[in-house]
Structure 1
Amino acid sequence: MSVTLTITKTKVAILELSRPEKHNAFDDSVINELIQCIEHANSLDIRALIFKTQGKHFSAGADLGWMKSMANNNFEENVADSAQLAKLMSVLATSPHPTLCLVQGAAFGGALGLIACCDIAVATPDAKFCLSEVKLGLIPAVISPYVIKAIGERQARRYFLTAEVFKAQQALALGLIHDISDDLAKSEQYFIDTLLNNGPKAVQSAKALINEVANKEIDEPLIAHTASRIAQIRVSPEGQEGLSAFFEKRAPSWQNAAKQ
């Protein structure tokens, strides 16, 4: 097994890919392992999902041996393989839990899709990124919806076509990552503590709200929907507890639970 899923006592899922000898490149087996672990995590009552890898590099993208074998497959077999990669991106992007991606070293090709699928991404200062597909005569098709959402169409027009390598500072400017950190473990703990400080159902609802509102026209139905959403959360048990705690100047129940 190249993938492990660990649940901490604070109900945080740690998903780790350990294939450093292959620079954490993924093949069909790794993709299936990741899908199974993420789907399992998505079904659990947890507070966050952390995605990280072991070794010097985050991920080189698709494994070269796997790519070579796919080149010998027919169109239908290639569609089936690509569908599994598409499923991996989808189950990560649609996780109901807040997701954090920690990036070190090189992140090439499909690895950028994994980063873009996560809610929050932090990279080391020496991290390097590349949408390298066109160098091989390919295109970043499966990851394109997620990467374009992250960096925008205008920037995708450059980096999809040039396959330039860009550094962490540029990834930050593009919106692919949110922060640059010399200490990923410290950043991981910071975001875990920050997320655990917030109402668990509110965090999930806030994430769902983004998907419901993003890129939608601001019209009467959307306005009515958002009014309904805030009303629902206000009268919910968690919303009532949060408001009561605020006015009573005490910690809400979920903060006390996170400390136990």
Structure 2
Amino acid sequence: MTFQTLQLQRDARGVVTLTLNTPERRNVLSPQMIADLTAFARTVGQERETRVVVLQGAGPVFCAGGDLAWMRAQLTADRAQRMAEARKLAEMLQALNTLPVPLIGRLHGGAFGGGVGLACVCDMTIAARGTKFCFSETRLGIIPATIGPYVLARMGEGRARRVFMSGRVFAADEAEGLGLVAHVVEEAALDTAVTAEVAPYLATAPGAVAAAKALTRVLGPRIDAAVIEDSITRLAEIWEGEEARQGITAFLDKRPPPWGG
């Protein structure tokens, strides 16, 4: 199966490397990439021969977050259109979050906005030292709504509140302390570290791994249809506010928003 914005490689062991493959756009979450990731999760990720999925980004940045063209379109969309677009993002995140195989994130360069959300739906992430992180939404007058349930599940409320609203950029070492990433290694050691995380799964029963992962979601923080729908509604509502219009317009015009640089 091929995808417009993704590159897939599967080795003889059943390890699938899933690469966000629009490096010229810093792997932003465009509508096409959201659709491709959803389709991957619902097809390739469910195949019996898939044992582990490694998620990475091509080029200098793992994922720079939202797509500018998508943001521009939301300014003139009506409520129903905004809800529909937010639902596509929410469904993609949930599809990846509930993959019946381990999902390991290989992060480098930067993970911003929705890119942090992708890191949080991974079962564990390894980041290269020097990787930058940011919940950049509030700088634009919006909120990290659809990624919110997964961020809070990963980090816990107390740690999330340190970075969830401030819009500040933080380094990989802080991300490790916040529980966002499991390990930070030098970039030259990134592949070796990922290989070490993959290896134990190749000695486990795939069905048992899937059942154990499903159990973690039953026992962990609630992320059900009601929680997801609330995140969709909150995102659509914030897009209707004056701050969103001012913030997104300023960002697209490459000038500071009214509240600061």
Both structures adopt the same fold (TM-score exceeding 0.5): yes
Q: Secondary structure at the match of 2:43?
A: helix
Kept after mapping to 1: 8 A contact 2:65/2:115: yes
> Does residue 199 in structure 1 map to residue 219 in structure 2?
no
For residue 194 of structure 2, the aligned residue among 165, 177, 188 is 188
For residue 150 of structure 2, the aligned residue among 146, 165, 168 is 146
Cα deviation digits, residues 182-219 of structure 1 (max 9, x gap): 22211221122121122322222221221222359xxx
- Distance in 2 between residues matched to 1:215 and 1:79, nearest whole Å: 24
The higher relative CO (CA closer than 8 Å, separation ≥ 6) is in 2
For residue 58 of structure 1, the aligned residue among 54, 59, 62 is 62
- Distance in 2 between residues matched to 1:24 and 1:122, nearest whole Å: 18
Identify if the C-alpha distance between structure 1 residues 72 and 163 changes in structure 2 by more than 3 Å, giving closer, same or farther: same
Q: Choose between structure 1 and 2: higher helix proportion.
A: 1
> Does residue 128 in structure 1 map to residue 129 in structure 2?
no
For residue 180 of structure 2, the aligned residue among 176, 182, 205 is 176
Unmatched segments (≥5 aa) in structure 2: 223-261
For residue 212 of structure 1, the aligned residue among 207, 211, 218 is 218
Q: How does 1:155-170 map to 2 (within 5 A)?
A: 155-170=159-174
Q: TM-score scaled to structure 1, two decimals?
A: 0.80
More off after superposition, 26-35 vs 125-134: 26-35
Residue equivalent to 1:247 = none
Q: TM-score scaled to structure 2, two decimals?
A: 0.79
Residue equivalent to 1:108 = 112
Q: Secondary structure at the match of 1:16?
A: strand
Give the drift of 1:121: 0.3
Residue equivalent to 1:3 = 6
Q: Secondary structure at the match of 1:85?
A: helix
Q: Secondary structure at the match of 2:161?
A: helix
Residue equivalent to 1:69 = 73
The number of equivalent residue pairs is 216
Residue equivalent to 1:91 = 95
Kept after mapping to 1: 8 A contact 2:160/2:178: no
* Structure number with bigger Rg: 1
AA aligned to 1:72 is T
Unmatched segments (≥5 aa) in structure 1: 217-260
Residue equivalent to 2:22 = 19
AA aligned to 1:31 is I
Residue equivalent to 2:46 = 43
Q: Secondary structure at the match of 1:158?
A: coil
More off after superposition, 20-29 vs 155-164: 155-164
Cα deviation digits, residues 57-116 of structure 1 (max 9, x gap): 111101112211222211111111110000110000011101101100111001111100
Give the drift of 1:23: 0.8
AA aligned to 2:216 is I
Identify if the C-alpha distance between structure 1 residues 86 and 215 changes in structure 2 by more than 3 Å, giving closer, same or farther: closer
Q: Secondary structure at the match of 1:4?
A: strand
AA aligned to 2:103 is T
Residue equivalent to 2:82 = 78
Identify if the C-alpha distance between structure 1 residues 215 and 81 changes in structure 2 by more than 3 Å, giving closer, same or farther: closer
Kept after mapping to 2: 8 A contact 1:41/1:49: no
The percent of aligned pairs where both chains have the same amino acid is 33
